[in-house]
Structure 1
C-alpha cells in the first residue's frame, strides 16, 4: 500500500474530470440547441454549415426581391389597364365621329376629349413610378442607338449587336402644287352660256416681280364680268361688273372636304380658306410666299396617303393657279388628253435594302446581323423588320433621308442606317443567392408617340377611319405589353415559390448538420450525469484508502 501517491484517487479523478468535460459539452448543446458550438466540435461540418447559411440567407432575400419585382409589374400593369380603357374610349369616340350626322363643331368637341385622353396617356407614361423608378416611359427597355431614325422598338427576340440597312428611297407624300413661278401674267376669257342669260368673264392678272406670292397673284387679278339678258328679244339688258381678287366663283374639295369661294375674294381670304380646307381634308399647305408656288401635300406619307382635289371647273382651277399647259402637269387628263378639273395623287412608301448575314447587297463584308430570312414592310416612313424566333424591329425614318440626298452642307448621304442594339436599360431582378442569378425585365414605352396615335384627329376627312385603325393597333400594342408583364409576373411567382422551397430544403439540411438532437443528447447527458455521480463516489472511496495504512501501524 502506498500513501504518497494514491493512484486510485488519481485515476478516478482523471476519469471524473473527463466526465465533467463531456457533461459540460452536452449541457452546452442542450442549452444552445446546436450540435456544433465551436469549430473544434466539427471542423468540416462548421465549414459546410457556414456556406449553407449564406445560401439560405441569400435565398430568403432573393425571394423578397422576387416579391418586390411582382409589385413593380403589378404597378405597371395597373397603369396599363387605365391606358387600355382610355384607348377603348377614344376608339368609341372615333366611331361616333365617323357618323355623318355629326357637324364639324361636334367633331371638334369629340376631338377635344380625344386630345385630353392622349395627354393623359402621356402623363401616365411619364409619371408611373415604383420607388422613384419610372416604369412606362421606355427607360426600362433595352437601349438601341441609330442614325436618322426615331421611335425604335425591338422585341425580346432581337439579339444585341450591329444591324445595317440602306434607304434607297425615302417615303413621299402625295403632292400637288401650282404651276405659277416667278413673273406670271394670266389673261383668259370664260364664257358661260345659258338659255336666256350669257355671262362672259374676262380674267387678267397683273405682273408681279420677285418670287411667287400666292396672295399677290390673287390680289393682282383683274376681272370683268358681262351679263347679257336675252329674256326680252326686243330689249337686251347688259350688266357689267368688275373688280380685283379671285377671278371667278367656284368650289373645290380636298379629300372630300368642300369649300366655296366667291368672286373677288382677296388673296388673304382665298389662302385662309385653302389652309382651312387642307386642315379639314387631311392635307398640308405651304406658305403663301413659297418661291416655288404653293404646294398641297397629304398629311400622311406612303402609298396609302392619297390626295384628291376636285375643282368645280377647269377654269376655276386655273384662276387659282393650278394649271396643265403641257409642262409641269398639275391637273389630270383623261385618256383622250382632255384636261379634267381635278388632281389625284398618291404618296410612296420608303424602299430599303437590308444587309443580311454580315453582307451588303453587293456581297461585301459588313457588320450586320439581319438574318437571311429577314423581311420588312413599310407604311410611309414607318418600317417593321421581322424574322424567325420572334425577331421584330420597328422604327420611323427621318423625312427625306435617302441615298444620294443632300445633307445641309450639300454633301450626298450614303443612305446607311446603323443600329446598335444593346442589353443596357432593362431592370435586372436578383432572384438567386449567387452572382449572375438574375432575371431581366423589359417594359416598353407606352407613350402616344410610340403607339403612333399622337396625331389622331377625327376632324380631318377620313380622320375617324384613320383613328379607328391607329387605335386598334395601339390597343394591340398595349395588350402585347400587358401580356409580357403578365408572363414576367407568372414567372416571378414560380421563381419565388422555387426559392422558398429551396430555402426550406437547405434549412432542413443545415439543421441535420448543426442542430443538436435533443433526445440523443439527453440520453448522453443522463449517462454522463450518472458517471459523474459514480466518479464522485469512487473518488471518495479512493481518498479513504490511505486511512487503511494506519491500521498497519497500530
Structure 2
C-alpha cells in the first residue's frame, strides 16, 4: 500500500470522467436529436452535413423561384385568355355586321362596341404586370434580312464560329526544346503547356522573336500564374512578329494584373496574324495604354475566328487616351472576321465589347457582355473609323460622359460604314447616347436594327445624325427574356429562359369603323392566332416548370434522407447508451469513495 500515489483512485477517476463524458454526449444527442452536433463529433460527416444543408436550402429557394415563375406565367396565360374572349366577341360582331341586314344606326352600334373592345385589348395588354414586370409588351415581327444575320454568325456551341481544321503539331519543334537565348526568325513551333507560353513571353520581350509560326498543341490552363502581376504579356513592348494559330484550342484562367503597363493582353502588340484561338475565364487589368483579351494593339494581317468568353477586362486608370476592348484594345491596318466576346468590359475612354478603337474592317462578329465607361463606349466598338459589317451587340452599355452607343460609341469618318448590323442591348448615357451610335461624323449607316423597347426616349444617333447617311433603320420591340433560377448552381442547366411579350396586335386597328368589311374577319383571325401562339408557348414552359418542381422535390427528399442518415441520432440506441453510461458513472462514484480510503488503511498499519 502507498500513501503518495493512489493508483486505484486514479483508475476509477479516469473511468468516472469517461462515463460522465459519455453521459453528457448521450444527453446532448437526445436533447438535439442529432448525433453530429459539432465538427469534433465526426469531422468528415460534419463537413458532408454542412454541404447537404447548403444544397437543401438551395433547393428550397429554387422551389420558391419555380412557383413564382408559374404564378407569373399563370397571370400572363389568364390575361391572354381574357384577350382571346374579347377577340372572339369581335369576331362575332364582324360576322353579325357581315350579314348586310343592318341599317346605318345598327352598324354604328356594332362599330362602337368593336372600338370599345379594341381599346380594352390594348389596355389589358399594356397594363398586365407581375411584380412590376410587363408581361405582354409588343413584339415586332422582324422582316427577313433586317439587321445582322445572327443565325449565320453566332457560335452554335459557345466556342468557335467557324469549324477549325486542326494542324498536326507532332512534327513541329517544341518551344521547350529551344534554347533560352535563341533567336527565332522562322519555322514552326508547338506550345502545349503554360510554361511554354511563359517562355514565349520572355523571349518576345527580350526581342528574340523575329518571325516564326507558333501553334497550340492542346488546351492550356494558366491557373498557376494567377497571383501578383500574373502572366507577363507576350510582346508587351509591341512588335510581335510571330504568327499565332490557336489551332482550335483554348487558354483558360488567364490572369494579368498590370495597371501600370501600356500594352496589356495575351499579346501586348502584334504585327502578324492570330487565328483559331479561344480564351475562357479571363481576369485582365490594364493601365493607361491599350488593354484587350487576345491583343492589346495590333497592325496585323488578321484576327480571325477567335473568342474571349467569361470573366472581365478592365483598366485601373482615368487616362483619356486609354483604349480597352473584349478581344483587342486598338487595331489598325488589318481585318477582324468571325470573332466574338462574352466578357464584362470596364474602362474610362474608348471602351468596346469587342474592340476599343478600330480603324479596320470588322465583319461577322459580335459581343454579348455588358460594357461601361466614361466616354466613347460601345456595345461592339468604342471608336470606329472604318467598316462594320454583319455584326451585332447584346450587352447593356453605360457611359457616365459623352457618346454611349448600342453598337459603336463614336463613328468618326466620312468613309466609315455600318451595314447589316443589330443592337439589342440597353443604352444609358449622360449625354449623346444612341441606340445605334453615340456620335457620328458622316458615317454611312445601312440596314441596322435596334432595340426600341428597352430604349424608350433614346435616339437612334446620339449626336451628329444630320451628318450621317441613313437608310433602312428599324427599331423593334424584342421578346423580353427572363431567366428563372430553377437549380442550385450557376450553370445553364439551372436556368430556364422565359420569353415574355406578345406579337404586335396593331393590325386589328384596320377594322375600326368598318367592322362590316369582309376583310375584318381575316384580320381578327390573325390577331387571335397571335394570342393562341403565345398561349401555346407559355403552356409549354409551364409544363417544363411543373417537371422542374417534381425534380426539385425528388432531389430535396433524397438529400434530406441522406442528411438524416448522417446527422440524426437513433434515440433508442442513444437512450440505451445513456442508461449504460449512467450505471457506469454511479458505479465509478461508488468505487471512487472506496478507493479513496486506501491511504487511510495504510496509515493504520503504522
- With structure 2 as the length reference, what TM-score do the two structures score? 0.45
Indicate the structure whose relative CO is greater, using CA pairs within 8 Å and at least 6 residues apart. 1
For the pair shown, the structure with the greater C-alpha radius of gyration is: 1
- With structure 1 as the length reference, what TM-score do the two structures score? 0.49
Query: Which protein has the bigger strand share?
Result: 2
